[in-house]
Amino acid sequence: MFPLHLPTKFTLMSAIENGQFLAQEIAELLISQNKTLSVAESCTGGKISSIITSIFGSSDFFKGGIIAYSNQVKIDQLRVKKMDLEKYSAVSEKVAMQMAEGIKNQFLVDYAIATTGYAGPEGEKVGQVFIALSSSKRTIVKECFFRGKRRKIVTQAAIEALTLFHTEIKK
């Protein structure tokens, strides 16, 4: 396992490097447990998938993902309820949970990660992100608030999603 080096000052490069260390540890854990993963990304736009697939051998555990940027893709591909999108918005705990469960069921995997949020640059809730993790045992959702410009928020959300998942599968 690789050590996780948390920088004292956030930089995009250090965050991506830490994401790659996390992805390597996740890869080792999932391969040793013979488990699989898929992702549903909205605000992270494929960043989680990119970090995971940068690891050699990721095809042994990573089955794929869906970038569900539009509500219609969330409905059609992930089985998010239209009523919940209208009632709670696309950026909500309820929708994040349905995205994670939807991708897990769609790809028939052991674990799923989903992200939905406001990356900015404008809006009242810029930086609000919901990260959901789903397994056969449970689905959990964490609400996060990140600061910075769009690219930084996306990177922080992807790293936090990988960190949460890493912590969860180590239990």
Asked whether residue 61 is assigned to any structural domain, the reply reads: yes
Q: How confident is the model at residue 76 (pLDDT cuts 50, 70, 90)?
A: very high
What DSSP designation does 157 have? H
Asked whether residue 74 is assigned to any structural domain, the reply reads: yes
pLDDT at 14: 67
The total of structural domains in the chain comes to 1
How is residue 115 written in tokens? Answer: 């992200």
pLDDT for 25-47, tens place per residue? Answer: 999 999 999 999 999 999 999 99
Asked whether residue 94 is assigned to any structural domain, the reply reads: yes
Taking the C-alpha atoms of residue 94 and residue 51, their distance in angstroms, rounded to an integer, is 26
pLDDT for 105-146, tens place per residue? Answer: 999 999 999 999 999 988 889 999 999 999 999 999 999 999
Residue 58: which domain range? 12-170
Asked whether residue 4 is assigned to any structural domain, the reply reads: no
pLDDT at 123: 82
Asked whether residue 6 is assigned to any structural domain, the reply reads: no
From residue 140, how far is each of 40, 54, 143, 150 by CA, in Å?
Answer: 14, 26, 10, 25
Q: Which amino acid is at 141?
A: V
pLDDT at 21: 87
pLDDT at 2: 39
Domain of 26: which CATH number?
3.90.950.20
CB 152 within 8 A of CB 146: yes
H helical segments located in 8-113: 12-33, 47-53, 71-78, 82-88, 93-107
In a 3-state reduction of DSSP, which class is residue 57? coil
What is the pLDDT of the chain when averaged over all its residues? 91
Is pLDDT of 13 > 80?
no
Asked whether residue 2 is assigned to any structural domain, the reply reads: no
